[in-house]
Structure 1
Amino acid sequence: MSTPIFQISDLRKHYGRGQSRFDALKGVSFDIHGGESVAIVGKSGSGKSTLMHLLALLDAPDSGSIALDGVDTATLRGGTLNKTRNKTFGFVFQQFFLTGNDSVLENVILPLKIAGVGRTERKRRGMAALEQLELADKARSKALNLSGGQKQRVVIARALVNNPRILFADEPTGNLDTATGAVVEDILFTLNREHGITLVVVTHDEELAARCDRRIVIRDGLIVDETTKDAA
């Protein structure tokens, strides 16, 4: 098999000091290969969200290492770190984090503005992402006027607009009803299968986790189980 897109070795992370110290991660190691779908499963406080933030380079571990395409991410600084994060990753969160009074298109192209992409190219790529999510007709609508399912599809479009290689989804169906959540799940796994996007899902939803190629269970900051779909 090719070199893993992620190589995670002995990750440790704590918050606070003394009696208030909380060890969120206590030595976590695993690899993720390009094109995989991986579920990180655990209850609230298990360390799964901390792990995702470290993988997405939104925070740094206290010790241990994360290699991205064989490069130690601890060596990435400043503009290089921001560029890597912006071009490599897409994010889909349970909370939509949309600006309600802005149009759908304006919300989608925000990462391109941050990346310094020109106005014409921003619009072209934003509309292409909306068409992919069957939302082109909502481009001029205010985000606040959308349904929950439509908002989550806008979030996915925003995550895709920079053509990311890795998509992080943190409880992506947590705010949706069952039927709408199933539609959003189908979109995510279609992107994984048909476009080769590596999908990392953080969830406590066992049914969602079961759709992934691999399921990593984390409890009290440690991996306590790891299964593949074929072995499950």
Structure 2
Amino acid sequence: MSTSIIRADDVHKSYGRGQTRFDALKGVSFSIGEGESIAILGKSGSGKSTLMHILALLDAPTNGRLTLGEIDTRSLKGRRLNRTRNKTFGFVFQQFFLVPNASVLDNVTLPLKIAGVGAPERKRRGIAALEQLELADKAKNKAVNLSGGQKQRVVIARALVNNPRIIFADEPTGNLDSKTGAIVEDILFGLNREHGITLIIVTHDEDLAARCDRQLRIRDGELVDDTAQGVAA
């Protein structure tokens, strides 16, 4: 068993109070090993997106504990929280969240700029990330002029630029045709296998989920299934 990189212990998340209270997560517990690929599955409103936001330190549990490596994340506040999130995670979303009139390189290096990395080093690491995605020739292009598949590859390059330990992918192929989506999937799973990056995918796509090492199924805020399996060829 690989070393645990994230562990959730009896994680609850509630919104509102009294009669308006909604329990989005109801005592979810599991651990994720370093280098695993995980699919989080569930219908709309099941709590899967809430769970991803908590795992990615974009939100905090109402009760319970989330551990990142050896760190109890309840101890992370302010700048330390932001720095930990920026250095540890990369994000790939269905909506690309690119700055349309900025260059591809500027979009990719945005996390480095937020982290205070100097311009020469930002450029070096940005180009290196684009080369991994075979997009170095598009570095000066405006993001608005790219195809959907190219935009998603830019998003993956942006996710990689800080050398993250974990990539979170929220419906990463949802806006792509099946052929382009398959290419993006292959890139993500290649990064997982070849570089040991832990991959956590939130998806409705059963075929995509079947490629992961494990599937966590969420229903009405509860973990109802945790299935380990071999990676599909």
| TM-score computed with the length of structure 2 as normaliser | 0.97
Which residue of the partner structure matches residue 102 of structure 2?
Answer: 102
Aligned partners of 2:70, 2:46: CA distance in 1, in Å? Answer: 28
Which residue of the partner structure matches residue 187 of structure 2?
Answer: 187
Which residue of the partner structure matches residue 85 of structure 2?
Answer: 85
Counterpart amino acid of 2:190?
T
Deviation at 1:231, TM superposition (A): 11
Counterpart amino acid of 1:188?
L
Counterpart amino acid of 1:86?
N
Which residue of the partner structure matches residue 157 of structure 1?
Answer: 157
Which residue of the partner structure matches residue 35 of structure 2?
Answer: 35
SS at match of 1:5: strand
Deviation at 1:18, TM superposition (A): 2.5
Deviation at 1:2, TM superposition (A): 4.5
Deviation track 1:136-169 (CA, whole Å, cap 9, x = no partner) reads 0100000000000000000000000000000000
Aligned partners of 1:202, 1:140: CA distance in 2, in Å? Answer: 31
Deviation at 1:71, TM superposition (A): 1.3
Which residue of the partner structure matches residue 125 of structure 1?
Answer: 125
Identity, % of aligned pairs?
75
Please say if residues 7 and 70 of structure 1, whose CA atoms lie closer than 8 Å, have aligned partners that are also in contact. Answer: no
Which residue of the partner structure matches residue 26 of structure 2?
Answer: 26
Deviation at 1:17, TM superposition (A): 2.2
Please say if residues 3 and 70 of structure 1, whose CA atoms lie closer than 8 Å, have aligned partners that are also in contact. Answer: no
Deviation at 1:25, TM superposition (A): 0.2
Please say if residues 4 and 34 of structure 2, whose CA atoms lie closer than 8 Å, have aligned partners that are also in contact. Answer: yes
Change in Cα spacing, 1:117 to 1:8, as seen in structure 2 (3 Å) is same
Deviation at 1:14, TM superposition (A): 1.1
Which residue of the partner structure matches residue 116 of structure 2?
Answer: 116
Please say if residues 112 and 122 of structure 1, whose CA atoms lie closer than 8 Å, have aligned partners that are also in contact. Answer: yes
| TM-score computed with the length of structure 1 as normaliser | 0.98
Aligned partners of 1:202, 1:167: CA distance in 2, in Å? Answer: 11
Counterpart amino acid of 2:159?
A
Deviation at 1:3, TM superposition (A): 3.5
Q: In the alignment, is residue 229 of structure 1 matched against residue 229 of structure 2?
A: yes
Aligned partners of 1:138, 1:149: CA distance in 2, in Å? Answer: 13
SS at match of 1:125: helix
Counterpart amino acid of 1:19?
Q
Change in Cα spacing, 1:163 to 1:231, as seen in structure 2 (3 Å) is closer
Aligned partners of 1:213, 1:128: CA distance in 2, in Å? Answer: 28
Please say if residues 87 and 162 of structure 1, whose CA atoms lie closer than 8 Å, have aligned partners that are also in contact. Answer: yes
SS at match of 1:32: strand
Please say if residues 25 and 220 of structure 1, whose CA atoms lie closer than 8 Å, have aligned partners that are also in contact. Answer: yes
Deviation at 1:220, TM superposition (A): 0.3
Aligned partners of 2:171, 2:18: CA distance in 1, in Å? Answer: 32
Deviation at 1:7, TM superposition (A): 1.1
Which residue of the partner structure matches residue 216 of structure 1?
Answer: 216
Deviation track 1:110-161 (CA, whole Å, cap 9, x = no partner) reads 0000000000000000000000000001000000000000000000000000
Change in Cα spacing, 1:103 to 1:168, as seen in structure 2 (3 Å) is same
Which residue of the partner structure matches residue 174 of structure 1?
Answer: 174
Which residue of the partner structure matches residue 134 of structure 2?
Answer: 134
Unaligned runs of 5+ in 1: none
Counterpart amino acid of 2:216?
I
The alignment's C-alpha RMSD in Å is: 1.2
The ranges of structure 1 where at least 4 consecutive aligned residues each deviate by more than 4 angstroms after the TM superposition are: none
Aligned partners of 1:18, 1:151: CA distance in 2, in Å? Answer: 44
Which residue of the partner structure matches residue 54 of structure 1?
Answer: 54
Please say if residues 213 and 231 of structure 2, whose CA atoms lie closer than 8 Å, have aligned partners that are also in contact. Answer: no
Aligned partners of 2:173, 2:6: CA distance in 1, in Å? Answer: 25
